[in-house]
Chains A and B, each alone.
Chain A
Amino acid sequence: MSKRWFERCFQLLICGLAVCVVAVMGWVLIDVIIQGLGHFSWQFLVTAPIDAGRAGGIGPIVVSTLLILIIALTVALPLGLAVAVWLAEFAARSSRFARISGVVLDVLAGVPSIVFGLFGNAFFCVYLGLGYSLLAGGLTLACMILPIFTRTCEIGLRAVSQDWRRGTAALGMTKASAVWHVLLPAARPAVLAGMVLGIGRATAETAALLFTSGYVDRMPGSVLDSGRALAVHIFDLSMNVTGGDGAAYASALVLVVLIIILNILAQQLTDRWLQQHSRA
């Protein structure tokens, strides 16, 4: 009798805790959705902020965020792909340099985001003289995305069956064309998933952008101008602007929707890759 009771209690406790967690998370999300919808409108997405952001919208901020993302991706994607290809295809397994690079990537992935902000400020803004600019922010984010993207690509490439490589060798293809025409396309879902994850991480980033991209909330004229990213805007509205909570929640809604879309995309791509992989 008491055995059943014990089992029931345990199950209740465990599932109860899980439900609590889901409830609190749900509270946060529902809050964001309800409060955000109250202030949101399609105009909100395109007009400029008025009165420090209390009124108006987030148009220039969305543009700044996109520009920072484009810069970060333009730098991180080719570099990350190159390193992944080298590690997976060209480096000898026993090469010390390959092992060091692997460790370096892991270490880079662990650096806290605020420390990237410090580095970005000291290196891009001061040393290279870019000042507070979208370019400095984008480059800093590129440093942050690089390890994750490289790792994901490398895993994707390594997972491609050796049969494919033997096939390309049998056909007399150079390694270069093997990589370009056969291996990378085979690892495509992993590469795309890595890219989407990188974008997700970059969009959520605030601390690193605080002192590299600056605070200016106007439409940036060029990449050397300072601009405010969406996450930074939410931060400023909630901390510094009285009556800015409504706009903060609306911006948070936009950000959350973006992240959810990106995450779902990443999930689909990873699932597709796993499916492909198990077939081959």
Chain B
Amino acid sequence: MYGKPSTSRTDRWLAATLQLFTTITVLLLITIVGFLCLESWQLISGSGQNTGIFALLSGQDWYPLEGKFGMGPMILASLAVTFGAICLALPIGLACAICLQFYASRGIARWFELALILLAGIPSVIFGLWGLTRLVPIIGSWQPPGASMLAAILVLALMICPTVALTTTAALRALPLSLTAGSEALGLRLPTQIIQVYLPAARSGIISGVLLATARALGETMAVLMVAGNVVQNPSDLFSPVRVLTANIALEMAYAMGDHRGSLFASGLLLTALVWILSLWANRASGQRLLRAPYV
């Protein structure tokens, strides 16, 4: 606050207690990282043919029964599915934001925004349920088996689209009025205004939103687990089933012991590292604190 710290005894006591609680929170993070490392240490530090970081990351064979823990195909699958989802969600999210901000009338815009916020909060199991019972059979009738990378990409795109739309809207809203005034004065048409002026100006906010959505897609488990087929193989085409890192943990965690369990914790560490890098990047891009609008 300001001035010298309070000398009241209650205040000192309270400050100490609160600081203790904060320390506990910091310790929590350390504990989490610690346990992840602890459980996976044996596997990561091993130097055998199938152990050690290099073998884990680049190995192509995931056969825990035979002691092979190559996460290569799954890492690729995670990245491919996330990339596909972003490719789909970015244009659509941008379109929603532009529609919301520039084209929709007052009343419609309010409802639209409310709908997007609501949808951003729908649990992933429900998207997974819908994907499993509706999307997979449709894809399956076109090209079996239906549970495939395409299904995962579609469901994920649906899930992160509101996030992209809402953060872009927030970024567009934060633009200074002088920009609008200036482009109107220049006689530019609305599409040109949007494409040449507003979007580039809001660029950092949009990028930050996209990165946050990517982090969310990367960490998504349930929806992908339910629709992707869960076969450990390199993603070869859109219709082949894949297994992503998160789904792998969910599928095998209850059954895993020893080194197998260690490998799952190792993949957890990898996921966390990836998500952190993305969040840090988003932070840099927007120049603000990481955690923004609460609904994200």
Q: Which of A43-51, A55-63, A83-91, A216-224 contacts B (4 or more CB under 8 A)?
A: A83-91
Contact present for A115 and B25 (CB under 8 Å): no
Tell me the minimal C-beta distance from A255 to chain B in angstroms: 6
B8-20 to A contact mask, C-beta < 8 Å, 1/0: 1011001101110
CA distance A239 to B124 in the complex (A): 14
Contact present for B6 and A255 (CB under 8 Å): no
The verdict on A86 contacting B95 (CB below 8 Å), with A105-B25, A235-B128 known, is no
- Asked whether any CB of chain A lies closer than 8 Å to the CB of B106, the reply is no
CB within 8 A of A239: which of B1, B6, B226, B253? Answer: B226
Most B CB within 10 A of own CB, among A15, A127, A193: A15
Q: Which of B26-34, B65-73, B175-183 contacts A (4 or more CB under 8 A)?
A: B26-34
Main secondary structure of the interface of A (DSSP, over half): helix
Q: Which of B43-51, B79-87, B114-122 contacts A (4 or more CB under 8 A)?
A: B114-122
Tell me the minimal C-beta distance from A98 to chain B in angstroms: 8
Contact present for B291 and A106 (CB under 8 Å): yes
CA distance A207 to B248 in the complex (A): 12
Within 8 A of A (CB), among B249-269: 249-250, 253-254, 264-265, 268
Contact present for B294 and A194 (CB under 8 Å): yes
- Asked whether any CB of chain B lies closer than 8 Å to the CB of A42, the reply is no
The verdict on A31 contacting B130 (CB below 8 Å), with A83-B22, A174-B8, A207-B246 known, is yes
The verdict on A118 contacting B289 (CB below 8 Å), with A152-B294, A203-B123 known, is no
- Asked whether any CB of chain A lies closer than 8 Å to the CB of B191, the reply is yes
- Asked whether any CB of chain B lies closer than 8 Å to the CB of A104, the reply is yes
Tell me the minimal C-beta distance from A61 to chain B in angstroms: 13
- Asked whether any CB of chain B lies closer than 8 Å to the CB of A25, the reply is yes
A195-206 to B contact mask, C-beta < 8 Å, 1/0: 001001001111
Contact present for A108 and B28 (CB under 8 Å): yes
What are 18 A-B pairs with beta-carbon distances under 8 A? A10-B190, A17-B95, A25-B115, A31-B130, A82-B22, A83-B18, A108-B28, A110-B290, A112-B271, A114-B219, A115-B219, A117-B253, A175-B6, A194-B294, A234-B129, A235-B128, A238-B132, A263-B121
Give me 9 other A-B pairs in contact (C-beta within 8 A), A119-B36, A205-B123 excluded.
A32-B129, A83-B21, A86-B22, A105-B291, A175-B14, A197-B294, A207-B221, A231-B125, A234-B126
State the B residues within 8 Å of A (CB). Answer: 1, 3, 6, 8, 10-11, 14-15, 17-19, 21-22, 24-26, 28-29, 31-32, 35-36, 38-39, 91-92, 95-96, 98-100, 103-104, 112, 114-115, 117-119, 121-130, 132-134, 158, 161, 165, 189-191, 215, 218-222, 226, 246, 249-250, 253-254, 264-265, 268, 271-272, 275-276, 279, 283, 289-291, 294-295
